[in-house]
Amino acid sequence: MIKLETEINSNMKQMLESNALRALHDVIKSRDYYMQIPIHTSNMNIEQLHTGTGRICKTIIPPLNIFLDQQGLIGDKIANRYLGYRISYNNNPIPLSHVYNSSGYLCLGNIFVPELIPAYAPQLPLETLFLANDRNMAHGDPVLSPSKEKRLQINDILHAVNYYSGDLDKYISNDTNWCEHDILWQIGNELLTLLDHDSALIVADKIFKIIFSKKG
């Protein structure tokens, strides 16, 4: 039974990889959009406001559109320098250090990511950046500064789920670049601590839609 399951899993993996490659080849013939990754959780090196140091913990990532320039597909591999990562709701680059604020392409610096990655796993370079997140604003020039109106809406949502943190509330209330202190990712981590997984994703998605709406 174990052998049969192993063979089935192996065949399924090959089928999925083959289908992904066929779809990728079809898509990039006409445009560079590759795929969308839905809202999900991921481990990230997130700054702890009371200490100013980073700690690996789980947070919530908004839906992402992944783009790939045609020349980035090399056989069954993708060259990471041709990948771009953008928020699905407004098509702006994900606000994270080492991701160019103007294009969504990677600015890796001294963070190691294999130059070629499997074509069916285009999220791997970004997941590596999550774990290495060093909040280096000089690499990529990331900016996330929600308007006062948006910050008030976010506060209302957080307080409705009985969330309160003096340190984080101070940053949410002020007009600052949230990327400098991982405010967005701290909110995701707090929601996962307060709520069950599915409820946390629902609340986070409401916040993402406010932050990444095209207005305000």
Structure tokens that stand for 107 in this block: 């600015």
Contact 74, 81 (CB under 8 A): no
In the chain, what are the domain boundaries? 2-132, 148-211
What are the tens digits of pLDDT across the range 81-111? 999 999 999 999 999 999 998 889 988 878 8
CB neighbours (10 Å) of residue 5? 9
Instruction: Say whether pLDDT at 4 is over 90.
Output: no
pLDDT given at position 143: 92
0.85 surpassed by pTM = no
